């Protein structure tokens, strides 16, 4: 896929994941299948403007940041606008 340097760009994928579990009754290992999905959105760190951002700015999401995961803190409910401002502050 060729993007030719055009941002913003978003990609999404859905797939199966597998986990081995020990069955206590039979002593066998069984495989559990589950579905995962991932969405990634890439933007230019110097220009985060987008013509449709105002439409979603106030939507609230439950986000589990890497920092909260490492510190043992819970996930946070935060608006998309607040999340973008926090990330902008980091760069």
Residue 20 falls inside a structural domain:
yes
Residue 54 falls inside a structural domain:
yes
pLDDT of residue 91: 46
3-state secondary structure the chain: CCCCCCCCEEEEEEEEEEEEEECCCCCCEEEEEEEEEEEEEECECCECCCCCHHHHCCCEEEECCHHHHHHCCCCEEEEHHHHHHHHHHHC
Q: What are 35-84's pLDDT values in tens digits?
A: 999 988 887 777 777 888 889 899 999 988 888 899 999 999 999 889 88
Q: Give yes or no for residue 89 having a pLDDT over 70.
A: no
Q: Judge if pTM exceeds 0.75.
A: no
- How many distinct structural domains can be found in the chain? 1
Residue 1 falls inside a structural domain:
no
Domain that residue 23 falls in: 9-90
Q: How confident is the model at residue 4 (pLDDT cuts 50, 70, 90)?
A: low
């Amino acid at each position: 896929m060729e993007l030719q340097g055009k941002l913003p760009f978003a990609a999404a994928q859905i797939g199966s994941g597998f986990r081995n579990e020990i069955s206590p009754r039979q002593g066998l290992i069984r495989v559990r299948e589950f579905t995962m999905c991932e969405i990634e959105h890439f933007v230019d760190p110097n220009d985060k403007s987008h013509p449709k951002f105002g439409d979603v700015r106030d939507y609230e999401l439950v986000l589990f940041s890497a920092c909260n995961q490492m510190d043992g803190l819970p996930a946070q409910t935060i608006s998309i606008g607040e999340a973008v401002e926090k990330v902008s502050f980091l760069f």
